[in-house]
Amino acid sequence: MPRFQRPTGTLDVLPEEQPYWAHVRAHTVRLAERAGFARIDLPIFESTSLFARGIGTGTDIVEKEMYTFLDKGGNSLTLRPEFTAGVVRAYIENGMRVRPQPVKLYSIGPVFRYERPQAGRYRQHTQFNMEILGDQDPSADLEVMLLISDVYAGLGFKRLSFQLNSTGCPRCRPGYVEVLKAYYQQHVDEVCDDCRRRLKQNPLRVLDCKADQCQPVIAAAPRIGDYLCDECADHFATLREYLDLLQRPYTLNHRLVRGLDYYTKTVFEVWAEGVGAQAAVCGGGRYDGLAEALGGPPTPGVGVAAGLERIILVMKAQGIEVPPLPAPSVYLAHLGPEARRETVRLADALRRAGVGVWLSFGERGLRSQLREAGKRGVHYAVILGEEELSRGVATVRDMEGGEQVEIGLAELVTWLQERTHP
Ligand SMILES: [Zn+2]
Ligand SMILES: [Zn+2]
């Protein structure tokens, strides 16, 4: 038989990892809900055409990274590579436009991209996602930026800052793209093959090329900030004014563009000190054109997505502690068939009383059972033998201090309930 292994780029989240996951999930959900975001759960797969339309053909995600398959009915479906397209699809389909605007939604769950696996980056990874739909006020952009930054700060991340840009709108961006293309035509011999291809398919992406030879060309390239229309320029200026007002550090980065066609105006990344130097931990931006691209009414939107695996990787590397998960506080040890029957009854009574119990299975010596009690991390071990049973008592050992007391079986449930629920 072959030894089965998990697919490349996937992760088994083992029990000992779960306290991190529970803590990060609870923390992100608490901050989102406190700010008025409501949870939405969407299918993990959608029509392939939703992502082709919403993310854009010619992007790496759509061209190279999607898990696409035909179902038995011949429909082309894709495991979601991100949340936004699905959230906007659901907003349109469920008529959320008639609700009070804006509609604030958050999601948490897996997304799938066929990428080269690396530390903290998986082909199935878990995202926390927030969207504000139905408002173009720059304070909506500010809100998602601050919230996600506070998520990281609350988890122990240090030196948080933003990288910020505006990618304009359908009125001003095409003019800029023409200027950018004309500039690149003069430097076409100096740039890499990828950039020559990008110029035809997705020209803005030349700005985030990582090839050494392209860096001087990028540095001297025309900047979109100089080509914004009045509306985009005002929007961007207001957002920066708010960030200045709050003294939140940010860096203008004219190279910051998104591989997603529907992004308009604000685009940002959150930077933080992680494992080593400051680096991007998540990104987001505005997508005022998306709802219309998906056949819905014009609906402005802004959102952000953060990867949970990377958050947890950094928390562990930095030794950030998380609270333990609920666990049994009482171990029930027994010697002899009568005592065993009694502990089965006791376990049931304790559980009904809200006391977490680890009941010893099988028939083993007392020493072996107490060794197990130590390993399970319980506070109390209850020991019941035939002799104790005949006197109607049980021995209770405090596993931390080691002292033992005898408690009458009639009082035992209440006695343990009081001590395990301070
Ligand atoms: Zn514009
Ligand atoms: Zn290049």
Using left for φ > 0, alpha for ψ between -120 and 50, and beta otherwise, residue 415 falls in alpha
Distance CA 396, CA 408 (A): 10
Q: How far is the CA of 209 from the centre of ligand 2 (A)?
A: 5
Among all bound ligands, the one having the nearest atom to the CA of 288 is 1
Q: How far is the CA of 175 from the centre of ligand 1 (A)?
A: 10
Which residues does residue 330 pair with via DSSP β-bridges, in sequence order?
A: 357, 380
94, 86 contact by CB (below 8 A): no
Q: How far is the CA of 205 from the centre of ligand 2 (A)?
A: 9
Residue-by-residue DSSP string for 227-296: S--HHHHHHHHHHHHHHHHTT--EEE-TT---S-TT-EEEEEEEEEE-SSSEEEEEEEEE-TTHHHHTTS
Among all bound ligands, the one having the nearest atom to the CA of 176 is 1
pLDDT for the residue 119? 72
Q: What is the DSSP letter of 58?
A: T
Among all bound ligands, the one having the nearest atom to the CA of 212 is 2
Strands 76-79 and 67-70 turn out to be: antiparallel
pLDDT for the residue 261? 62
Q: How far is the CA of 83 from the centre of ligand 2 (A)?
A: 29
336, 385 contact by CB (below 8 A): yes
pLDDT for the residue 415? 97
Q: How far is the CA of 232 from the centre of ligand 1 (A)?
A: 4
For 23, residues 6+ apart whose C-beta sits below 8 A from its C-beta are 322, 323
Q: How far is the CA of 206 from the centre of ligand 2 (A)?
A: 6
Among all bound ligands, the one having the nearest atom to the CA of 172 is 1
Q: How far is the CA of 167 from the centre of ligand 1 (A)?
A: 8
* Amino acid found at 213: Q
Q: How far is the CA of 187 from the centre of ligand 2 (A)?
A: 11
pLDDT, tens digit (0-9, with 9 covering 90-100), for 285-324: 999 999 999 999 999 999 999 999 989 988 998 889 999 9
Q: Tell me which residue of 367, 172, 129, 163 sits closest to 266, measured CA to CA.
A: 163
Backbone angles phi, psi at 326, to 5 degrees: -55, 140
Q: Tell me which residue of 324, 338, 343 sits closest to 381, measured CA to CA.
A: 343
User: How far apart, in Å, do the first and last CA atoms of the chain sit?
Assistant: 52
User: Domains plus CATH for the chain?
Assistant: 15-172+228-317 (3.30.930.10), 330-417 (3.40.50.800)
pLDDT for the residue 43? 98
Q: How far is the CA of 174 from the centre of ligand 1 (A)?
A: 10
List of the chain residues with pLDDT < 70: 58, 120, 259-261, 275-276, 422
208, 257 contact by CB (below 8 A): yes
Among all bound ligands, the one having the nearest atom to the CA of 231 is 1
Q: List the Cα angle 23/27/29 in 5-degree steps.
A: 120
Instruction: Please report how the helices 18-34 and 308-317 are oriented relative to each other, as an axis angle in degrees rounded to 10.
Output: 120
- Token pair for 115: 């990428």
Among all bound ligands, the one having the nearest atom to the CA of 210 is 2
Among all bound ligands, the one having the nearest atom to the CA of 230 is 1
- Token pair for 349: 């009574």
Distance CA 422, CA 412 (A): 16
Neighbours of 290 (CB within 10 A): 29
Q: Which long-range contacts (CB under 8 A, 24 or more apart) does 341-348 make?
A: 342/384, 342/389, 342/409, 343/382, 343/384, 346/382, 346/384, 346/394, 346/409, 346/412, 346/413
For 321, residues 6+ apart whose C-beta sits below 8 A from its C-beta are none
Q: How far is the CA of 265 from the centre of ligand 1 (A)?
A: 7
Q: How far is the CA of 139 from the centre of ligand 1 (A)?
A: 18
Which residues does residue 290 pair with via DSSP β-bridges, in sequence order?
A: none
Strands 38-39 and 103-112 turn out to be: parallel
Neighbours of 305 (CB within 10 A): 18
pLDDT, tens digit (0-9, with 9 covering 90-100), for 183-198: 999 999 999 998 998 8
Q: How far is the CA of 271 from the centre of ligand 1 (A)?
A: 26
Please give the model's pTM, rounded to 2 decimal places. 0.91
Among all bound ligands, the one having the nearest atom to the CA of 206 is 2
